[in-house]
Structure 1
Amino acid sequence: MESFNTSLGGGFILVGFSDWPQLEIIFFIYILIFYSFTLFGNTAIIALSRKDPQLHTPMYFFLSHLSFLDLCFTTSTVPQLLINLRGLDRTISYGGCVAQLLISLALGSTESLLLVVMAFDRYAAVCRPLHYTTIMHPLLCQALAVVSWVGGLMNSLIQTSLMMTMPLCGRRLNHFFCEMPVFLKLACEDTEGTEAKMFVARVVIVAIPAVLILGSYAQIARAVLKVKSTAGRRKAIGTCGSHLLVVSLFYGSATYTYLQPKDSYSESNGKFIALFYTIIIPMLNPLIYTLRNKDVKGALWRVLGRGTATG
């Protein structure tokens, strides 16, 4: 079979959910609703974190970065999906597909690194409370955020560059956006060397951060067990519970998608897992972080001009 990407002028066909045409209108309605909630929730967190002085802390500085990442990540995939669900033209240019791959991979990689930074922030808050403000200096917070963004972009550039060297056979991508595992399925030559390099890059950006976060929470758990008062334990658990839930959702789906062998990856299952981490998780993150968070609720009431209540 002739290699497809010998001509960069070609394009791809995003199969999406055309295998279930009777569900496409339902998908369109629900995805549009979820996308709207994602835009509103994450924009609200960014606005509150900037506007309210009481939220000018490292935790909310990183949370606003996470919200911005979720906004960008969802927007890099969902508009294309909505268009494909309602139209007959499911094609995307080669350049557009590579750009989508590069952007979505950069944002996902950045989020993986940022979650490590947020775990370190929670470690400092629980295990080093007396030195917290000294450790989490504003300059360090900004540096950690920059490192996360630059590291995510570098990882994406490496993986995307390696992917572009692979000969691809066929134009049909059995997915709703241009994602790495689907490209690997299209490889029409033995590319074990390239795939091995890409797998190493994925381990660096997924597995190592996950191990670092687990290490941080092991230290946090030890510190919490030493707290004698029930109220103190509850406060320590509460300050970390939201982040731990977000971490579980993110790394669970990322591990399924990026750390399993190409031959065992199911494109059909992969599409639904991708729906989860491109739409559901970015929508849930604002709720997870704010539902029981009195600081954010109080900030919202103050911004709305309805007093200073925090309940």
Structure 2
Amino acid sequence: MKITEFDYYLPKELIAQYPLQKRDEARLMVLDKKTGNIEHKVFKDVIDYIEPGDCLVLNDTRVLPARLIGSKEGSGGKMEILLLKRLPDGTWETLVKPGKRAKVGSRFDFGDGELKAEIVEVKEDGNRIVKFEYEGIFEEVLDRLGQMPLPPYIKEKLEDKEMYQTVYSKEEGSAAAPTAGLHFTKELLKKIEDKGVIIAFLTLHVGLGTFRPVKVENIEDHDMHSEYYSMTKETADKINKAKESGHRIISVGTTSCRTLETIGYENGRVKEQSGWTDIFIYPGYKYKVVDNLITNFHLPESTLIMLVSALCGRDKIMNAYKIAVDEKYRFFSFGDAMFIK
């Protein structure tokens, strides 16, 4: 398939620059994957489309405040380090700007010396391996000094870091939020659970590769980025119980979806597992585990719009996106939601 088949026109003013104060009052487009019929709702109405016995699967990853702004030792020049991945030896793979100042041995200060960094390796792709020096617990230092690594299309500064976290976030490690989950409140989740819906959590640490554009003409030639995932036995048992009793698996977000489809067997069952996934889901893919999907509106020509197209068909998705533009839905990370039923 050609990359251009997943392009659409989006006015810049529809790219949401800030989250709603009341998370569950975002708009919700409900798309029937069989008929293509569309309903316009408010997100908290999603409870009306989830039945007792269904299993709602959420990604409990927590975003690290991974953007550090400081200065180079000696020259005092401004530097920015973006944390990508913690390595087994305690060092971090990072993006450093400007790269020309980040040679092996270069040292940087953050927070008046509270945190120091040294470049120990320059990788072939330009990423830097960095060793940090600090007193105490790294995550606490990072929480004081770091900023949220918001996507490049968000220009506004986020005043409250928690607005870029889901209310159920727990496992720290993401470079970006699993944004479909941003619409849930604790109260809405409680109402859904009280209805008899099974709530299950897994973890996938979202990497910045999720924003990496597809640069090949034929999408089959695209190399997918890799992300770490983990599923407990408790979650696997909940999913299998729902499947065996004829109920639906409803994935909250493309990250939960990619994890479920990575772990799932042809019979739709899953098992306790952790590892790295580079699964690339696009039209032609046959879903094994996921029946329905709650998701945001994604970038043109992105792997994420391809994933949702695989669930209900490219034509239905592209038509839904055209309607979303016409109806002035808010797009991307802080935007409105879609439920593919």
- Structure 1 or 2: more strand by fraction: 2
TM-score (norm 1): 0.23
More helix by share: 1
